[in-house]
Amino acid sequence: MKTLHFGVFEVMGPQVGGTYSWPHPLSAGIDYLDPAHWIRMAQVVEEAGFDFLFFAGGYGYPIIGDDVSRVSVEKGINFSGLDPDYIIPVLAQHTSTLGFVVTQSTGLDHPAQLARRLSTLDHLTGGRIGWNIVTGASQNAVAEVFGHERMVPHDTRYDMAAEYVELASRLWEEAWDDDALVADRASGLFARREGVHRIVYEGEHYRSRGYYGAPPSPQRTPVLFQAGTSPKGRAFAADHAECVFVQGTTPARTAAAVADIRRLAAERGRDPERLKLMAGMTVFVAETADRARELEAEFDAMQTDEIVAALYAGNTGIDLLSLDPDRTLQQVLDAGGPVGQMGTSNIERFLGEDAPTVREILDQLRGLGTRGFRVVGDPVRVADRIEELAAETDLDGFLIEPVFEPNDLRAFGDLVMPLLRERGRLRDGEPGHTLRSRLTEGRGGDRLGSAHPVLGRSAATA
């Protein structure tokens, strides 16, 4: 029976998932500017037995027409967000084994800048860092913020990302020998000159030919997560990722995406079962099913078509409310505009045979935003459904997407985790010290390992 892994999906903003929940009395999300809020959150998450706290994020925001979506600003829907890099070392001081995964987009700064930030975090947390590699949501807004004339095309962003990760990995893995850092007070030797190496990288998009100042951290390379499930995104995941955050849609579609990513990994000579694939999940759980349904109804009552439309526009550039509600998304393709440059997954899933109308898409996404599966009920029902979904999809775990944080995370920890543990679904005993050893049940060690394809395939010369 497969061990399941659990993370918590957060963003350093008032709420997650492109839905509206922070004004609810059970949510503390609006305290997100206060470090005490995050310390409390990290402690709840660690005590509940989660493997890691995952931070989504980016510079984008939903644009409708040619301006920021009004409802996004007024309700804080994917609009406000801080950089989680700075709070993570604080949280590491208040927890002992919890991992931290941070989303950072490729294509904005130079790989050496991000590499150094992540090395720093891996040192400061004792090896508890993962990097969620994205090419970036809401690219039209990102282009505005960075003053770019236009968005870099979708597939080119992935080509750039491949170079970005290859260069960063070489800095982490090859710039310092394990014994290069001596730091010996008696001899006064800081580092062995022969043990540090110039990294020369000549890519089409990125170049480097210098020395890397950050000595090897416990994991060297942070655990490589990836999110983005277009065909190009899946190929990228199969090439680079150790963990993949798959968009949870229906069980059947998710199972197909999981199988496809494992197949692509196997084609590249990787062990497909070593890849950890996870999807988002929103859980409404309480001692009784009635109370769980009440919580769900209270959340659903806060959602509107405008919120759904803002979120969808942020992912795709398409304003659903400007379309004919009785026709399918084919009307956008028929109009001939540039479609899919921001992200294709959320368009493709609504095309083809039996495609829903725009009205049906709005209804389907209501309360869902970018969230994955929704599970509602008493603790036994929720634990059963989690096991069923894992079996139906071949996923390795779930990222719980809170609604009324941290109260609902605490409820999940108190009510559902013990059942999963009893059923043998959670890892036994003490977790490994680094995030990588924790996610590989100790078998993968702390390091990326020389078998990882990113190290064998690079545009570089040493």
Ligand X SMILES: Cc1cc2nc3c(=O)[nH]c(=O)nc-3n(C[C@H](O)[C@H](O)[C@H](O)COP(=O)(O)O)c2cc1C
| Residues found near ligand X in the complex (CB under 6 A) | 56-58, 103, 105, 134-137, 227-230, 233, 245, 247, 280, 343-345
The half-sphere exposure of 319 on its side-chain side, counting CA atoms within 13 A, is 12
154 is known to lie in a ligand binding site: yes
How far is CA 139 from each of CA 61, 142, 341, 351, rounded to the nearest angstrom? 9, 5, 8, 22
Q: Which is nearer to ligand X, 244 or 309 (CB)?
A: 244
Q: How far is the CB of 106 from ligand X (least distance, A)?
A: 9
- Identify whether the C-beta of residue 389 lies closer than 8 Å to the C-beta of residue 373: yes
- Identify whether the C-beta of residue 329 lies closer than 8 Å to the C-beta of residue 361: yes
221 is known to lie in a ligand binding site: no
Q: Which residues contact 62 (CB under 8 A, 6 or more apart)?
A: 68, 69, 72, 77, 78, 79, 138, 141, 310, 311, 313, 314
Separation CA 263–CA 448 (nearest Å)? 21
| 447 alpha carbon, distance to own chain's centre | 20
What's the residue count for the chain? 462
Which run of H or E residues covers position 146?
A: helix 139-146
Q: How far is the CB of 198 from ligand X (least distance, A)?
A: 32
Q: How far is the CB of 253 from ligand X (least distance, A)?
A: 12
Q: How far is the CB of 209 from ligand X (least distance, A)?
A: 29
Q: How far is the CB of 329 from ligand X (least distance, A)?
A: 15
Q: Which is nearer to ligand X, 218 or 343 (CB)?
A: 343
How far is CA 93 from each of CA 50, 88, 98, rounded to the nearest angstrom? 17, 9, 11
Q: Which is nearer to ligand X, 4 or 56 (CB)?
A: 56
230 is known to lie in a ligand binding site: yes
The half-sphere exposure of 99 on its side-chain side, counting CA atoms within 13 A, is 34
103 is known to lie in a ligand binding site: yes
DSSP code string of 32-53: TTSHHHHHHHHHHHHHHT-SEE
Q: How far is the CB of 99 from ligand X (least distance, A)?
A: 17
- Total Cβ atoms within 10 A of residue 246: 27
Q: How far is the CB of 81 from ligand X (least distance, A)?
A: 9
| 433 alpha carbon, distance to own chain's centre | 21
Q: Which is nearer to ligand X, 12 or 292 (CB)?
A: 12
Binding residues for FMN: 103, 154, 158, 230
